Amino acid sequence: GYLEKDAIRGNDTFVTFDEIMKQAVQNEVDFVLLGGDLFHDNKPSRKTMHCCMEVMRKYCMGDRPIVFEILSDQAVNFSHSKFPWVNYLDSNLNISIPVFSVHGNHDDPTGADGLCAIDLLSCAGLINHFGRSRSVEKLEISPVLLKKGNTRIALYGIGSIPDERLYRMFINNQVTMLRPREDEDGWFNLFVIHQNRSKHGATNYIPEQFLDDFLDLVVWGHEHECKIAPVRNEQQLFYVTQPGSSVITSLSPGEAVKKHIGLLRVKGKKMNLQKIPLQTVRQFFIQDVTLSEHPDLFSPEQPNVMLKVMAFCQEKVEEMLEEAERQRLGNSLTPEKPLIRLRVDYSGGFEAFNTMRFSQKFVDQVANPKEILHFIRHREAKDNIKGKETPPQNENFVINHITPCRSKTVKALFVFGTQFKIFWMKTRSIKGMKVIVRILHLPSDVQSRLYKATGTLSVSEKNE
């Protein structure tokens, strides 16, 4: 329900949530896993709650059979619920896609009853809220144990906890992840966490090193930047996927990264995460300009310098708008008006100008006309927008090459996938899966890691 009262952007979250759940249906997933913050507000509006329930009832109910079992004690997994069992085993509900979720920091439990927004969905039988702890001193995480065929997943979760508190619990050895007694190593261990991943201070984030090394994949919620391709933590030897938010809530570079959801396939201990780009997410372009870097165009002493700067900025915005239109071409699902941000470093004697008049020019083309320009001084190097100094982004790569991929290569591909856009074709199992890759540019360091890792994977730079 972010910005739900905005005339232009008000429905963005709902539309994209609909797209995501529709993807879940189309891909015939066994379940949907949410990393928290399904809601932006602790007390979502009636409209938001209504939209959310509507989407879930529409897509998560139906006759498609659910073929995985739950082996753990559901009364433990869902002990805080009034209906402490997984929704698809409730004989009164015809669930086709169970949704599992931890709560986030935006929709965490509050009040005397310790209820949170997703508990309403849980009570309505639309969500399975897990990873909830009663203690603030000690965590004992009992996994939801899922079994389908020979594949068994131990699903661990911790709903959002203030970072400092959880950090302290980890430091004091008060976080225990229980493991199934039988065939301990036969499980695929999946962990969902909703905390700061990037360091915001000494103890208000959770270092990946804190997490148990028996884990196979960590789904990291909370962080908004989409870094969904699993990254291997070389110390702990697990992978971390950070799906990111499905809606842009701040006009910062992290949100400009193309939004994806992940389709995770697990077979035995092997996994594969397919990135699915979201079509309905509003485009967001951000660019930095430093006025003092253009001495040929203007200097602070010039008469009418402000008009020149304004024209320059206008040109930059128009460039971004053109790029947005070009990328949007043929995609009817993407909203027409993009989000545009131009950060103008006006240090060196320049003056900021009134952005109101400037905004007026773009009121019909831009979703955030009042917030296009952002005047700053002395941009620090570290805050530079990606795509300049950072490695090339997904957007630089298009797919055209098809090659069979053996299961042995799967892990390697995640490393690869962190830097390049890779699509997995939909197949039933990891074996025999196809991957389509076209590489337009491949930095040498990545290339070497790639070839080292992939083994039998063949990557081609040729066009078809």
Q: Which stretches of the chain bind a second copy, using CB under 8 A?
A: 43, 46-47, 49-50, 53-54, 57, 61-63, 82-83, 91-95, 111-113, 115-117, 119-120, 123-126
Number of other CB atoms surrounding residue 111 within 10 Å: 9
In this structure, what is the dihedral angle of CA atoms 396, 421, 321, 331, given to the nearest 10 degrees?
130
Dihedral sign, Cα of residue 445, residue 446, residue 452, residue 457: negative
Integer Cα distance of 273 and 231 in angstroms = 11
- Shortest spacing between CB 110 and a second copy, in angstroms: 8
Taking a C-beta distance cutoff of 8 angstroms, is the pair 412, 453 a contact? yes
Query: Among residues 117 and 219, whose Cβ is nearest to a second copy?
Result: 117
Bridge partners, residue 275, by sequence: 262
- Shortest spacing between CB 82 and a second copy, in angstroms: 5
Half-sphere exposure (Cβ direction) of 354: Cα atoms closer than 13 Å: 4
- Shortest spacing between CB 124 and a second copy, in angstroms: 4
**Helix H or strand E encompassing 423:** strand 423-424
Query: Among residues 49 and 71, whose Cβ is nearest to a second copy?
Result: 49
Angle, helix 12-26 to helix 46-60, in steps of 10 degrees: 10
**Helix H or strand E encompassing 315:** helix 305-328
Query: Among residues 44 and 244, whose Cβ is nearest to a second copy?
Result: 44
Query: Among residues 41 and 322, whose Cβ is nearest to a second copy?
Result: 41
- Shortest spacing between CB 15 and a second copy, in angstroms: 15
Integer Cα distance of 89 and 85 in angstroms = 7
Residue in the structure block whose two tokens are 């949530």: 17
- Shortest spacing between CB 338 and a second copy, in angstroms: 25
Give the max Cα distance, the chain: 80
Integer Cα distance of 169 and 165 in angstroms = 6
Integer Cα distance of 202 and 199 in angstroms = 7
- Shortest spacing between CB 464 and a second copy, in angstroms: 44
Query: Among residues 82 and 326, whose Cβ is nearest to a second copy?
Result: 82
272 Cβ contact partners less than 8 Å away, ≥ 6 residues apart? 264, 265, 266, 410, 413, 424, 430, 433
Bridge partners, residue 373, by sequence: 342
Q: Alpha carbon of 438 to those of 80, 150, 425, 427, 463: distances in Å?
A: 48, 34, 14, 20, 7
Name the residue type at position 396.
Answer: N
Tokens of 275: 């990135």
- Shortest spacing between CB 88 and a second copy, in angstroms: 11
106 in catalytic set: yes
Taking a C-beta distance cutoff of 8 angstroms, is the pair 397, 421 a contact? yes
Query: Among residues 99 and 226, whose Cβ is nearest to a second copy?
Result: 99
Integer Cα distance of 411 and 449 in angstroms = 12
- Shortest spacing between CB 211 and a second copy, in angstroms: 32
- Shortest spacing between CB 47 and a second copy, in angstroms: 5
64 Cβ contact partners less than 8 Å away, ≥ 6 residues apart? 28, 96, 97
Q: Which one of 40, 103, 106, 129 is the catalytic residue? A: 106
Q: Alpha carbon of 302 to those of 257, 298, 349, 425: distances in Å?
A: 38, 7, 11, 58
Residue in the structure block whose two tokens are 């990328």: 327
- Residues identified as active-site: 106
